[in-house]
Structure 1
Amino acid sequence: ILREQNIMLSSNDTFLVNYRPANNISNGETIRHLKIISAKRYTIVEDNIVIAEGTSTVATVGALLAELNIPLYVADEITPAVNQPFVDNLTIEIQRSIPITIVADSKRIMTRATGETVYDAINSAGFPLSGQDYTIPNSDTPLQANMVIEIVRVLETVEEQHQIIPYRTLYYPTPELPAGQQEVIQIGIEGLQVTQIRTRYENNQIVSRVQSVPWIVQPPTHQIIIYGIR
């Protein structure tokens, strides 16, 4: 049939008869379906190094990797994705993750991550920094295999302490009132002084406590009483 149609097969093509490889067809079996799967060329690059080249008739990127016994870790980055169709002249790029240990939130997690720096690794592993959080070693440190990365969670709280400033009572003589008589001409009002205490926690432990210089929010209003001397 193929010869009649001038169809040429290469040694890498797959020829299916009745949905099975042609060499599995028994003599005398009625031919109902023919399918030729042409071999497609591929190049596989791992961490910028070509590790495989050739042809295959599989349907997807994932199937090609399985055929070649190339394993993938969950954290590895692959382009195109494993569920994408395998097309001719396809270049598949794999960026391998490396093993690291992350110490964070009272846990020690052995995982794998990708990236060039500690910052890249913790983000790819799902441990982003927030606010004033920092890492040991520093987040811009080049990433290395089997590195132990500690994430220090930082929290700062500000507490205000209020202190009442008492008012004074001032007495002034006046000839306008008879002796022994008093009159309040200004009511006393207490003032308010505020002090801030800034506390820094690292991994839920207090590492510093700083008290600000007190400032007066509202000065007191002194009470004034006049008394008669007439």
Structure 2
Amino acid sequence: MSTGQLSWPQTAAVPRRLARGWWSVLALIAVIGAMAAGYAATLSPIKLVVDGREQIVRTNQRAVATILREAGIPIEPEDLIGPSLTSTLAGGQSTIVVQHARPVVIVADGQTHRFRTQAVSLKTMLTEAGVKLRDHDLAIANNQPIEFAGDADYVFSREPGDLSTLRIVVRRALPVAIDLGDGQPRQIETPASTVGEALSQAGIELYLADRVQPDLIAPIVPNLRIEVQQSRPVRVVVDGRTLRTRTLRSSIGEVLTDLGVTLIGEDYTQPPLDAAVEANAEIKVVRVKQEIFIEQEVIPFDTVRIPDPTMELDTYAEREGANGVRQKR
């Protein structure tokens, strides 16, 4: 039949075309695999040491800049690369070392300097920022004061992988006069930010009873005059106790009033209440007690005979007597 003759040749042609298509795909895969194998054979392992951390990359490149770019490692002008960024690895070379620069912020004289550096010494960092540290100035790194900041050998410790920002604040020393009341004001230069900090740096010990002008929390300004009235130590011996205190009072009586010590009756002090207070003075409070002693003396009674006309002759009546008492103070 005509319908059967038309259908059989069509169904038989489909498998032959599919087979030819699969062979083409397999051949393409084989070619790609051979090319990949050939390409892989050209790759060499390269060890990258970046900020102290090692990693291995495989590449057929030998230019240092290209290898780092393919590995996704950013490079800035301040970074250190070995071999150099413009060099090509020799046949026996397989290691590239990268040390990124550290970000630094220096705040001084109202200006902020931001840069990246490989330096580890304070002097070098300040030089790169164009900042000079003078005598008595203070450098503060990450909120920590630096001891002996003027020493050229001061260096910051840094691990290879530490890329944190180092913030350095330079606090300039200002001229200040400290008057301790001895007629010889001390002229100093201090980087302190407050009066209390300046006195502490000057080695002046303060007590609660001392008086300071301006207040301890007042800011330091150029040519500031700080007046300190230093209290005097005294000891008060009273009622079997020894009280130790410091005072700015001028008389013994004022010191006792501040301590709440009162005199009663004939009590007195050594030295007297109106005496001036001297340093390391000892004040004694003497308590006076008034006692009255009464001495009693017995007075024996006397026998008294009194005639009584109402009584019979040769009779008498007795009444018991009582001794008397004589008292003397």
Q: Deviations over 1:33-60 (max 9, x none)?
A: 975442333222237x443122211135
Q: Point out the structure with the larger helix share.
A: 2
Q: Deviations over 1:129-181 (max 9, x none)?
A: 113111244445443212122322111535679xxxxxxxxxxxxxxxxxxxx
Secondary structure in 2 aligned to 1:122?
Answer: helix
Larger radius of gyration: 2
Aligned partner letter, 1:98: L
Q: Point out the structure with the larger strand share.
A: 1
| Alignment partner of 1:91 out of 137, 162, 167 | 167
List gaps (5 residues or longer) in structure 1.
23-30, 162-191
Q: Distance in 2 between matches of 1:137 and 1:43?
A: 34
Cα root mean square deviation, aligned:
4.6
Q: TM-score, normalization: structure 2?
A: 0.41
**Would you say the 8 A contact 2:174–2:191 is kept in 1?**
yes
CA shift at 1:64, angstroms? Answer: 1.6
Q: Deviations over 1:80-111 (max 9, x none)?
A: 24535484443333343422122348562523
**Would you say the 8 A contact 1:194–1:217 is kept in 2?**
yes
Alignment partner, residue 103 of structure 1: 179
| Alignment partner of 2:225 out of 138, 148, 168 | 148
Alignment partner, residue 21 of structure 2: none
Q: Distance in 1 between matches of 2:76 and 2:97?
A: 14
List gaps (5 residues or longer) in structure 2.
1-62, 85-92, 147-155, 239-264, 302-329
CA shift at 1:15, angstroms? Answer: 4.7
Q: TM-score, normalization: structure 1?
A: 0.54
Question: 1:92 and 1:138, CA in 2 relative to 1: closer, same or farther beyond 3 A?
Answer: closer
Alignment partner, residue 65 of structure 1: 126
Answer 1 or 2: higher relative contact order, Cα 8 Å, separation at least 6: 1
Alignment partner, residue 193 of structure 2: 115
Aligned partner letter, 1:68: A
Secondary structure in 2 aligned to 1:55?
Answer: strand
Q: Number of residue pairs matched?
A: 182
Question: 1:89 and 1:127, CA in 2 relative to 1: closer, same or farther beyond 3 A?
Answer: same
Alignment partner, residue 165 of structure 1: none
Alignment partner, residue 167 of structure 1: none
Secondary structure in 1 aligned to 2:119?
Answer: coil
Q: Deviations over 1:179-215 (max 9, x none)?
A: xxxxxxxxxxxxx9432356545xx6x9xxxx9xx98
